[in-house]
């Protein structure tokens, strides 16, 4: 049985856990804990180690989705989680401009971990205050060749689109040789 891995990363409360939960065929193995600091007002629980989801392709291949903890004090986990990944998704809460700088920081760190394809998921596009993917591209100072995909992490089709865009990118790179 061969296993491949995609990492879902992004700032605190960007929707990583929900993203994996929406697409995973198993109950997401989540290690969420009660928050004990200033973020408590935003969210009751957060991921302290990782979320873990699975999509079985066939009897010989399985895709694992790993979510990283969003708070920077757990960033020592990031390089461990990124080991051997096929690519990664950077989730951004499009309604929360105060997290954009953190998203850019995380993106830079992951790019340094491994030269693998990545996409940016502009999450929470269903909410009224969401920044458009193009505005997010400017805010995050992303080149025009970086894919910024509108996303609603609670919607399966939307999550599928993000993963497919990432896989198309992987395929494109393989075809280029």
Residues 6+ positions from 158 with CB-CB distance below 8 Å = 125, 150, 151, 152
How many residues lie near another protein (CB under 8 A)? Answer: 37
C-alpha distances in angstroms, 40 versus 35, 46, 48, 50, 56? Answer: 6, 9, 14, 19, 35
**64 sits near another protein (criterion: CB under 8 A):** no
Write out the binding residues for another protein, residues 28-57 only, by CB under 8 A: 55-57
Single out the residue of 33, 40, 43, 160 in contact with another protein (rule: CB under 8 A).
160
Write out the binding residues for another protein, residues 92-111 only, by CB under 8 A: 101, 105
| CB 112, min distance to another protein, A | 5
**176 sits near another protein (criterion: CB under 8 A):** no
Q: What span, in angstroms and rounded, lies between the C-alpha atoms of 44 and 146? A: 33
Residue 53, token pair as written in the block? 């989801």
Q: What span, in angstroms and rounded, lies between the C-alpha atoms of 19 and 141? A: 24
Residues in touch with another protein (CB under 8 A): 2, 4-5, 23, 55-58, 61, 63, 79, 82-87, 101, 105, 112-116, 138, 141, 144, 156, 160, 163-164, 167-168, 170-171, 174-175
């Amino acid at each position: 049985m061969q296993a491949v891995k995609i990492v879902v990363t992004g700032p605190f409360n960007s929707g990583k856990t929900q993203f994996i939960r929406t697409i995973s065929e198993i109950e997401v193995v989540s290690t969420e804990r009660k928050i004990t600091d200033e973020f408590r007002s935003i969210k009751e629980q957060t991921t302290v180690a990782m979320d873990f989801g699975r999509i079985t392709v066939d009897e010989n291949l399985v895709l694992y989705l790993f979510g990283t903890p969003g708070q920077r004090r757990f960033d020592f986990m990031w390089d461990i989680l990124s080991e051997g990944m096929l690519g990664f998704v950077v989730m951004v809460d499009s309604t929360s401009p105060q997290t954009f700088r953190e998203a850019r920081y995380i993106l830079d760190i992951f790019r340094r971990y491994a030269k693998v394809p990545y996409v940016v998921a502009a999450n929470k596009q269903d909410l009224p205050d969401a920044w458009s993917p193009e505005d997010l591209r400017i805010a995050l100072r992303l080149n025009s060749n970086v894919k910024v995909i509108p996303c609603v992490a609670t919607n399966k089709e939307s999550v599928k689109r993000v993963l497919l865009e990432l896989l198309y990118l992987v395929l494109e790179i393989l075809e280029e040789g």
